[in-house]
Structure 1
């Protein structure tokens, strides 16, 4: 029986625009409803262009500074090493680590959103997968419900194993409205579990309004939170 709550969960995905922010919002809404926003922290590892950190600041009462939400910010919506080079900057991972550990020391739980996919570069030498493995972060992989999802899941799980990531499992996400038949055909759960040997915690429906936090918390309760948020 699991009974020890994690204190950090890294939310990553197979690519950009697959639902990392959706899952983070859903889980944070659940935490805020059943625990408290004061005990929760949210951090985007680094951000290129406007987007996620502004969203979290707007929708949740986090009492976090912009730097605590996103330690590194670059203006161009490009891979961090490319965006940083355009500004004559470097990707300072020490700053990210310091911000993360400081926030984690003050909060009971941190939802840590990655950028791009597991294979996305964070520096000229390191990917998100490298960072997750080196920092020993409990990780959940978001896989979009679409044609090709099975191969994406298999490839990303293989990368996670190669990088020695503590990959807890997969959450499927409907990036567009999907029928039950499409979900079953494109992301057959038993086949994906058989190929990856990784738990699948559930499937998020298409959500067109993330501002309804009560609904987001209800959606989260349909996931296997017992295995997702606990050791």
Structure 2
């Protein structure tokens, strides 16, 4: 296995923060690390990754399908009278995997977000057999969001490796435990919680992001 899909419960769950943190941490472990955002609608992630890391990847290798409007891909594509060419995305991913030691893949939206009129992110992750971690934002409703997304992952047979909590605002340890209690989430989902990312006032501080990623219980999980 030389790829990992970073999925979320919804938009703004923290997929980009986790992807950036893992890239900052693993860039020394993997001599030739790749990053991919298969589909992007609106300016954002591919530009950030190009700015922060020396990827030696073109923008189309990072993001094979790009749409101008920051909307769900089927809607954004329709506005441009374009099709969503998943064959292109698949081939780009295969080429990247063949040339890189490891590839981080950031999904769009949540697991239930539409990729096409027929496919969700969960469907794509399952069909392409992508090992996946689920980012759950620490806020009111985190428990229900985790349970619902894990249920969808299980229904579609996603290779879900674990859950990572993410503080989308500054939280005390007690607030984290109250809003997203690890033991309860694990009990309800039967999926391990691999750690919690703190809130980053500067989400481009690679040293702090790397330190946070190092504290996650992810390396061993990916070897199983």
The structural deviation recorded for 1:188 is: 0.6
Alpha-carbon distance between aligned partners in 2 of 1:227 and 1:149, rounded to the nearest angstrom: 25
Counterpart in 2 of 1:130?
123
The structural deviation recorded for 1:224 is: 0.4
Task: Write out per-residue CA displacement over residues 48-85 of structure 1, whole angstroms, 9 at most, x where no aligned residue.
Answer: 00000000000000000000000000000000000000
**Secondary structure, counterpart of 1:103 in structure 2:** helix
**Runs of 4+ off more than 4 Å:** none
Q: Does residue 15 of the first structure (1) align with residue 3 of the second (2)?
A: no
Counterpart of 2:151 (choices 148, 158, 162) is 158
**Structure 2: gaps of 5 or more residues:** none
For residues 28-107 of structure 1, the aligned pairs below 5 Å read 28-36=23-31, 39-107=32-100
* Larger mean Cα displacement after TM superposition, 24-33 or 210-219: 210-219
Alpha-carbon distance between aligned partners in 2 of 1:170 and 1:161, rounded to the nearest angstrom: 13
- Paired residue total: 224
Alpha-carbon distance between aligned partners in 2 of 1:208 and 1:228, rounded to the nearest angstrom: 28
Counterpart in 2 of 1:3?
none
Contact 1:33/1:217 (8 A) holds in 2: no
Q: Does residue 188 of the first structure (1) align with residue 181 of the second (2)?
A: yes
**Secondary structure, counterpart of 1:33 in structure 2:** coil
Alpha-carbon distance between aligned partners in 2 of 1:175 and 1:222, rounded to the nearest angstrom: 18
TM-score normalised according to structure 2 size: 0.98
* Larger mean Cα displacement after TM superposition, 196-205 or 208-217: 208-217
Counterpart in 1 of 2:19?
24
Counterpart in 1 of 2:206?
213
TM-score normalised according to structure 1 size: 0.95
**Structure 1: gaps of 5 or more residues:** 1-5
Alpha-carbon distance between aligned partners in 2 of 1:181 and 1:214, rounded to the nearest angstrom: 26
